[in-house]
Amino acid sequence: MPAPTRRTVLGAGLASVAALGLTACDDDTSATPQSQVSKASTSPTGAPAPSDWDPTDWDDVRAQFPLDPSLAQFAAFVLSPHTQELDAAIAGYRDELAFDTEGALFQGIDREDAVRDEAAGFAGGAPGEYALTDSTTMGIAHMYGGLSLSPGDEVVSTTHDFFSTEDALRLLELRTGATVKRVTLYDDPWRASVDEMVDRLMKGVTARTKVVAVTWVHSSTGVRLPIREIADALDGRALLCVDGVHGFAAVDVDLPDLGCDLLAAGTHKWLFGPRGTGILWARSFGPLTELIPSFDGFEDGARLTPGGYKAFEHRWAMADAFRIQRRITRKAVVARTVAQATRLKEGLQEADRITVITPQDPAVSAGIVCLDVEGLMPANAVLELRDQGIVASATPYRTSYLRLGPSIATTPEQVDAAIEAVSGLV
């Protein structure tokens, strides 16, 4: 008999879920027949027809976000606001779940397939290369927690990674006995270069190295790693695993073209997707063992998609978020983001007592811009800027910087206002 899948688990109802924990069930006999699901009760009310906003008009695009008009949102990338179209989709799916939960869950099987289809359409590769998660942290946990290593094996990481990667690698060490060593890729972020970062990383790689664990864009400094060049230098000698959250939807590249093997990213940051959603992309899921039983199946990305009941209206609306981004086009979104980030860096480069930490070169940066304000703690700078209508953030690291992230939720005029406000902090 075939192993239980999401269709059997959700279609059979809660009573059958317990039985499925003991015995595999045949799809044709255990699932609710599709003919018995009321089409009226599961019509996609959460998927509104395309609205009449113009995806080539940035004022129109920004107007889709119900933002406080008195604030310039340069921290939207931390946990992104929803567009009105996305919120309408979420509300519709939520209404369906309330109206006929069982029927909506059955529809959800196809909707999760649609999410993978749309993810592949946006970021490249095949739908089966995408597992669906709740966050970057969940993806990272599955990425490193699912690897099979042994004492004597080595993981090469860096000193620039976020806590989620650091702790996931700590747990990997405890579980497997493998050794993690960390390499510093640059001393001065502003002067970081492709050649230096690749060279320093590769000097840490040995014959024992099984995994290289890196972060695409450092949220601590705004430095973007040359993942393609790192992959070329590794040439398949080790798995290349990436925390990709601040590059996903902020860099115009298909994931397969990056050359890495695994990449985790939240879709509630630069993609402006539903809160509590993310992806884990893999060239092959073969190296990973699942950590949480899946409701989706036992092949490809479905196997690594954690099971369990959740806010399905947000999960299903991931497809809508990808469609919205594809309507604007990834190329246009990234160009808009980079243009504003460049404008911000250039405008503050000559400001007194302001040090721009993030490289000027777009080849080694993305949307995040980090700054050091002489004599002012970053957290205090954030408070002072907010009083002037500029929403910024402070990097959550031992060495903390003031951080701004221009995006499609901000405008060039707001960038100029931010330049003036930051310059006035000192």
Residues 224, 308 within the same domain: yes
What is the per-residue pLDDT across 336-384, written as a single tens digit (0 to 9) for each?
A: 999 999 999 999 999 999 999 999 999 999 999 999 999 999 999 999 9
pLDDT at position 133 is: 98
Is it the case that residue 43 has pLDDT exceeding 60? no
Query: Tokens standing for 230?
Result: 């790192």
What is the per-residue pLDDT across 57-78, written as a single tens digit (0 to 9) for each?
A: 999 999 999 999 999 999 999 9
Choose between 99 and 108: higher pLDDT: 99
For residue 378, give the nearest of 220, 222, 251 by alpha carbon.
220
Of the three residues 276, 301, 326, the one that is the final residue of a domain is 326
164 part of a folded domain = yes
Residues 333, 285 within the same domain: no
Residues 292, 164 within the same domain: yes
Query: Which amino acid, residue 337?
Result: T
Beta strands in 83-225 (DSSP E): 130-133, 154-158, 179-183, 209-215
The least confident of 24-38, 176-190, 270-284 is 24-38
29 part of a folded domain = no
pTM confidence score? 0.89
Query: Tokens standing for 110?
Result: 């196809």
Choose between 1 and 177: higher pLDDT: 177
Query: Tokens standing for 54?
Result: 């113009």
> Which band of pLDDT confidence, cut at 50, 70 and 90, is reported for residue 117?
very high
Of the three residues 326, 357, 387, the one that is the final residue of a domain is 326
Residues 365, 401 within the same domain: yes
What is the per-residue pLDDT across 187-245, written as a single tens digit (0 to 9) for each?
A: 999 999 999 999 999 999 999 999 999 999 999 999 999 999 999 999 999 999 999 99
pLDDT at position 261 is: 99
Residues 214, 347 within the same domain: no
Average pLDDT over residues 254-279: 99
Give Dmax (Cα) for the chain: 73
378 part of a folded domain = yes
Separation between Cα atoms, residue 173 and residue 151, nearest integer Å: 9
Is it the case that residue 319 has pLDDT exceeding 80? yes
> Which band of pLDDT confidence, cut at 50, 70 and 90, is reported for residue 14?
very low
pLDDT at position 426 is: 75
Residues 394, 341 within the same domain: yes
Phi–psi pair at 278, nearest 5 degrees: -170, 180
Is it the case that residue 7 has pLDDT exceeding 90? no
Average pLDDT over residues 401-417: 99
306 part of a folded domain = yes
Is it the case that residue 48 has pLDDT exceeding 50? no
For residue 245, give the nearest of 223, 221, 217 by alpha carbon.
217
Full domain range(s) for residue 244: 127-326
For residue 203, give the nearest of 183, 218, 222 by alpha carbon.
183
Q: Are 333 and 56 in contact (CB under 8 A)?
A: no
Q: What is the dihedral of CA 414, 416, 418, 421, to 10 degrees?
A: -130
Phi–psi pair at 34, nearest 5 degrees: -60, -30
Q: For tokens 């940066």, what's the residue?
A: 365
The least confident of 17-31, 240-254, 331-345 is 17-31
pLDDT at position 295 is: 86
pLDDT at position 38 is: 35
Residues 148, 278 within the same domain: yes
38 part of a folded domain = no
213 beta partners? 241
pLDDT at position 51 is: 65
Separation between Cα atoms, residue 80 and residue 59, nearest integer Å: 18
Q: Is 413 exposed, middle or buried (0-12, 13-18, 19+ CB in 10 A)?
A: exposed
Q: For tokens 């970062």, what's the residue?
A: 197
131 part of a folded domain = yes
Q: What angle do CA 340, 345, 346 make, to 5 degrees?
A: 95
What is the per-residue pLDDT across 139-180, written as a single tens digit (0 to 9) for each?
A: 999 999 999 999 999 999 999 999 999 999 999 999 999 999
The least confident of 168-172, 297-301, 326-330 is 297-301
Q: Is 407 exposed, middle or buried (0-12, 13-18, 19+ CB in 10 A)?
A: buried
**Centroid of chain to Cα 234:** 24
Residues 274, 316 within the same domain: yes
Query: Tokens standing for 218?
Result: 């450092």
> Which band of pLDDT confidence, cut at 50, 70 and 90, is reported for residue 33?
very low
Q: Are 136 and 266 in contact (CB under 8 A)?
A: yes
For residue 12, give the nearest of 295, 294, 306, 290 by alpha carbon.
295
**Centroid of chain to Cα 185:** 23
Share of the chain above pLDDT 70, in %: 88
pLDDT at position 320 is: 98
Task: Give, in order, the Cα–Cα distances in Å from 37 to each of 19, 175, 310.
Answer: 22, 45, 21
Is it the case that residue 135 has pLDDT exceeding 90? yes
Mean confidence (pLDDT) of the chain: 90
Residues 252, 380 within the same domain: no
Highest mean pLDDT among 13-27, 208-222, 290-304: 208-222
Query: Tokens standing for 264?
Result: 């985790």
Residues 212, 289 within the same domain: yes
Residues 152, 207 within the same domain: yes
Residues 6+ apart with CB under 8 A from 52: none
Of the three residues 303, 326, 349, the one that is the final residue of a domain is 326
Radius of gyration of the chain (CA): 22
Residues 321, 332 within the same domain: no
